[in-house]
């Protein structure tokens, strides 16, 4: 019926942390720049491991330090987690390298990790990044709280529509309607988690398929390292394995970074980069470990299924804590009830209007369900083609929805702040009509004449205009329990 869209026009956005400017150029957000650094670092690490010349090793080390400085100047904690996870993944790939006949002893490991930890720690303090990691700051940081609410809401949405998903770019909108905490009014353009967005909007089958592909590519260096195969002088096995490690580590960094931002919707360059890395992993499979591709496809599929099962289990557990159960009947109808209310309880049908209940009217309706007595279900119909009511079903028409039924208005109908052309002709059967206290539309005299002619009474929403929300707690129960 009424579509809600979020349109953002950005000329230039400057991100700050305290007195520090967060670097983001040439991307639109610091997280994108930080993730780009994470994707480049495996190349620098690979140059240090596979080169045997002192000058090239020193140059790679200086480049790595420079990349750390840029990363810290983004002040992106998600990118910080991504670089740590990518470094650990790279270390696993190189920990015992059969192709290079190299075993990493304690001394080697201490050198590899030691100078990087010291250098990164100095940069963290020099740039002031450490203050953004302080527990006292994290406890009051709204971005952390908002991510937590979004991710919990996303898991609840998976439980309600696990197979088909909620539709492309529909996740944030439905979250704000049906799952966002009632005390929070922040608007979101995405779920701030690209991996979760895939499961929420596309459904778990798509999540399993893409996860299996990604896991299979990430296993490429382990497969090639374990199953050595002579390749000839034109393409030595060490080069094949080294490229597989770089491709896989870079793709892994993208996956981790995408957990803290929706990179899939923010940067085409990063998306093309990770796609190239995944293709590169596949090519290295065929060159270096063709004979065991099927085995690792099986392992990747099993891993994706286990990951999806965990995700679905969490969604079911978390959904039990909801104060309002939301059941999606189809794309335009949502059934709301309290957890203790049975699925066959009496039902009222609601046709909302954003001008009356707000842009995200689902919030107001959920509040209505919470304050209502148990034993009642509400079906919210957002279509512009109303269905004939069931026997004994009450219908609430808000704002412009008052004209949906034309002159065939059902018997048990409540009109709330109606917007119609001619009240006397359209509404002879209306049981209850609620008008705003302030006559913003200039039609209240017509409603008074209609009430005098038909004998119906008019209710008033105290102290409000067309937007009912300020008086919503006062009038909703009176509307609900009218005979």
Query: How is residue 312 written in tokens?
Result: 């679905």
Q: Where are the beta strands (DSSP E) in 229-363?
A: 325-330, 333-337, 347-351
- CA 217, distance to chain mean position in Å, is 24
**Residues 46, 56 contacting (CB under 8 angstroms):** no
Residue 168 falls in which region: left (phi positive, over 0), alpha (psi -120 to 50) or beta: beta
Query: Does 451 reside within a domain?
Result: yes
Which stretch, 13-17, 104-108, 338-342, has highest mean pLDDT?
338-342
pLDDT at position 94 over 80: no
Q: Helix, strand, coil % (nearest 5) of the chain?
A: 55, 10, 35
The CA-atom distances, in angstroms, between 362 and each of 248, 324, 371 are 43, 11, 14
Report yes or no on 2 lying in a domain. Answer: no
Reported as a pLDDT band with limits 50, 70 and 90, residue 426 is low
Q: Is residue 186 domain-resident?
A: yes
Alpha-helix runs per DSSP H in 51-164:
54-74, 77-94, 106-127, 135-140, 142-160
Q: Is residue 10 part of a domain?
A: no
Instruction: Locate 362 and state its tokens.
Output: 């689902």
User: 404 with 360, same domain?
Assistant: yes
Whether 380 and 307 map to the same domain: the answer is no
Q: Is 243 part of a structural domain of the chain? A: yes
CB-based burial of residue 163 (10 Å sphere; 0-12 exposed, 13-18 middle, 19+ buried)? exposed
- Asked which of 284, 314, 344 is the last residue of a domain, the reply is 314
Q: Are 347 and 393 in contact (CB under 8 A)?
A: yes
Q: Do 260 and 389 belong to one domain?
A: no
pLDDT of residue 402: 83
- How large a percentage of the chain has pLDDT more than 70? 87
Decide which of 273, 291, 314 is a domain's last residue. Answer: 314
Whether the bond into 26 is cis, omega within 30 of 0: yes
Kindly state whether residues 295 and 337 are assigned to the same domain: no
Pairwise CA distance, residues 110 & 404, whole Å = 73
Angle 30-50/77-94 helices, nearest 10 degrees? 20
The reply to whether 300 and 372 lie within a common domain is no
Parent domain of 38: 15-314
Q: 286 with 412, same domain? A: no
Q: Which pLDDT does position 4 carry in this prediction?
A: 43
pLDDT tens digits, one per residue of 166-210: 988 899 999 999 999 888 888 888 899 999 999 999 999 999 999
Examine the domain organization and report whether 79 and 191 are in the same domain. yes
The structural domain count of the chain equals 2
The pLDDT of residue 16 is 83
pTM: 0.85
Shared domain for 302 and 354, answered yes or no, is no
**What does the alpha-carbon distance between residue 468 and residue 461 come to, in Å, rounded to a whole number?**
7
Whole-angstrom Cα distance, residue 43 to residue 247?
9
Residues 402 and 289 in one domain: no
> What is the CATH classification number for the domain harbouring 397?
3.40.50.1820
What's the average model confidence in pLDDT over 5-29?
Answer: 69
Residue 264 lies in a domain: yes
- Helices 171-178, 142-160: axis angle to 10 degrees equals 100
Whether 340 is covered by a domain: the verdict is: yes
pLDDT digits (tens, 9 = 90+) for 236-288: 677 788 888 899 999 999 999 999 988 888 778 888 888 999 998 888 887 77
> Is residue 128 located within the same domain as residue 190?
yes
What span, in angstroms and rounded, lies between the C-alpha atoms of 16 and 411?
Answer: 58
Confidence bin at 229 (pLDDT 50/70/90) = low
Which of the four pLDDT bands, split at 50, 70 and 90, describes residue 407?
low
**CA torsion angle for 356, 361, 367, 368 (degrees, to 10)?**
60
Enumerate the β-bridge partners of residue 380. 334, 350
Same domain, 236 and 367: no
Q: In terms of domains, do 419 and 462 share one?
A: yes
Tell whether 9 is covered by a domain: no
Q: Which of 314, 338, 359 is the last residue of a domain?
A: 314
């Amino acid at each position: 019926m009424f579509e809600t869209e979020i349109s953002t026009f950005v000329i230039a956005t400057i991100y700050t942390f305290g007195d520090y400017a967060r670097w983001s150029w040439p991307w639109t957000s610091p997280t994108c720049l930080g993730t780009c650094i994470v994707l480049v670092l495996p190349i620098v690490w690979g140059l240090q491991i596979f080169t045997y010349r002192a000058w090239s090793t020193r140059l790679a080390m200086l480049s790595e330090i420079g990349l750390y400085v840029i990363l810290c100047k983004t002040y992106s904690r998600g990118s910080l987690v991504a670089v740590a996870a990518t470094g650990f993944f790279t270390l696993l790939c190189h920990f015992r390298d059969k192709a290079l006949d190299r075993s990493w002893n304690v001394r080697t490991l201490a050198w590899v990790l030691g100078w990087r930890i010291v250098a990164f720690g100095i940069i963290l303090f020099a740039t002031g990044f450490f203050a953004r990691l302080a527990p006292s700051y994290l406890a009051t940081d709204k971005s952390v709280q908002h991510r937590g609410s979004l991710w919990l809401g996303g898991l609840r949405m998976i439980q309600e529509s696990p197979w088909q998903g909620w539709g492309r770019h529909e996740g944030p909108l439905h979250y704000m309607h049906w799952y966002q905490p009632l005390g929070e009014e922040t608007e979101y353009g995405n779920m701030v988690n690209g991996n979760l967005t895939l499961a929420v909007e596309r459904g778990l089958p798509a999540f399993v398929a893409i996860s299996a592909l990604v896991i299979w590519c990430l296993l490429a260096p382990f497969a090639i390292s374990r199953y050595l195969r002579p390749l000839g002088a034109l393409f030595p096995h060490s080069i094949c394995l080294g490229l597989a490690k770089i491709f896989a580590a870079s793709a892994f960094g993208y996956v981790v970074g995408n957990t803290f931002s929706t990179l899939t919707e923010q940067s085409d360059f990063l998306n093309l980069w990770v796609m190239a890395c995944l293709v590169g992993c596949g090519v290295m499979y065929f060159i270096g470990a063709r004979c065991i591709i099927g085995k690792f496809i099986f392992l990747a599929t099993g891993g994706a299924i286990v990951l999806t099962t965990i995700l679905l289990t969490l969604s079911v557990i978390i959904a039990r804590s909801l104060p309002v159960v939301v059941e999606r009947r189809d794309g335009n109808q949502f059934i709301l009830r309290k957890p203790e209310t049975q699925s066959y309880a009496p039902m009222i049908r609601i046709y909302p209007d954003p001008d009356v209940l707000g842009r995200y009217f689902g919030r107001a309706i959920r509040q209505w369900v919470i304050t209502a007595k148990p034993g009642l279900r509400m079906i919210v119909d957002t279509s512009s083609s109303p269905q004939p009511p069931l026997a004994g079903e009450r219908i609430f028409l808000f704002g412009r929805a008052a004209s949906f039924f034309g002159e065939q208005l059902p018997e048990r109908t409540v009109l709330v702040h109606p917007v119609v052309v001619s009240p006397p002709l359209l509404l002879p059967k209306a049981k209850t009509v609620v008008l705003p206290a302030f006559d913003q539309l200039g039609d209240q005299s017509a409603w008074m004449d209609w009430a005098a002619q038909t004998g119906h009474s008019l209710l008033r929403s105290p102290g409000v205009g067309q937007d009912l929300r300020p008086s919503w707690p006062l009038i909703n129960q009176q509307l609900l329990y009218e005979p």
